[in-house]
């Protein structure tokens, strides 16, 4: 979801990819559970099962750690061009479902709520969100240009319906059915887009 986040400068010994993955997952889980106020290097280290020194050898601040964890762990929402409006919207809805139905959904929600208050992350998050909005708007504009939608179509309303519908479906799915949804987000995305375009 956060393609384009700047890399962070790490120091010390070469990284072990398995350790990095465990740390990134622990960081996202902690951020999702406790937010920025409860985000601490020591707690991340404990959840990841590594020594606190391992974190400080890799990251010089908790801001740098969270930025790397978000870059590595959150799915990327990106521009798509399948050649049809239907295909583009299905892909967009699938990406949203992947974010909010997956294991890092709490971290994604926290980021939406708290990004503006986190030092070193707010400006990057804002620029990426604006780029993603422009890409999504481009999907609808291409559909209008190809004659797949009337020229009077509200780009904002259509996107709000697709993205909001996908997000709400993910967030309101009962806990015992979330794993099934996460394993097959494409099917639900297609149903949502089919329903929407049938009424456009």
Q: Which CATH entry fits the domain spanning 17-73: 1.10.10.60, 3.40.50.720, 3.40.50.620, 3.30.465.10?
A: 1.10.10.60
Region of residue 80 (left: phi > 0; alpha: psi -120 to 50; beta: else): beta
For Cα atoms 114, 118, 109, give the angle at the middle one, nearest 5 degrees: 25
Give the integer Cα–Cα distance in Å for 8 and 192: 38
Give the integer Cα–Cα distance in Å for 86 and 148: 9
Q: Which of the pair, 51 or 199, is modelled with greater confidence?
A: 51
User: Whole-model pTM?
Assistant: 0.80
- The rounded radius of gyration (Å) of the Cα atoms in the chain is 19
Give the integer Cα–Cα distance in Å for 106 and 53: 27
Q: Which of the pair, 87 or 9, is modelled with greater confidence?
A: 87
Tell me: pLDDT of 7 over 80.
Answer: no
Record: fold of 85-198: Tetracycline Repressor; domain 2 (1.10.357)
- For the chain, give every domain's residue range: 17-73, 85-198
Work out the mean pLDDT of the chain and round it to a whole number.
87
Residues 102-111: pLDDT tens digits? 888 999 999 9
Mean pLDDT to the nearest integer, 71-96:
87
């Amino acid at each position: 979801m956060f393609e384009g986040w700047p890399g962070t400068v790490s120091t010390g010994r070469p990284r072990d990819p398995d350790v990095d993955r465990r740390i990134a997952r622990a960081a996202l889980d902690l951020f999702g559970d406790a937010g920025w106020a409860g985000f601490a290097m020591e707690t991340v280290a404990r959840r990841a099962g590594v020594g606190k020194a391992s974190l400080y050898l890799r990251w010089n601040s908790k801001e740098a750690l969270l930025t790397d964890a978000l870059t590595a762990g959150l799915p990327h929402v990106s521009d798509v061009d399948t050649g049809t409006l239907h295909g583009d919207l299905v892909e967009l809805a699938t990406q949203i479902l992947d974010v909010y139905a997956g294991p890092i959904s709490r971290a994604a929600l926290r980021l939406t709520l708290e990004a503006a208050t986190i030092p070193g992350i707010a400006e990057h998050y804002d620029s990426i969100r604006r780029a993603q909005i422009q890409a999504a708007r481009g999907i609808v504009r291409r559909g209008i240009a190809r004659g797949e939608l009337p020229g009077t179509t509200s780009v904002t309303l259509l996107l709000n319906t697709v993205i909001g519908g996908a997000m709400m479906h993910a967030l309101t799915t009962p806990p015992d059915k979330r794993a099934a949804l996460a394993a097959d987000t494409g099917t639900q995305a297609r149903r949502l887009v089919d329903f929407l375009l049938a009424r456009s």
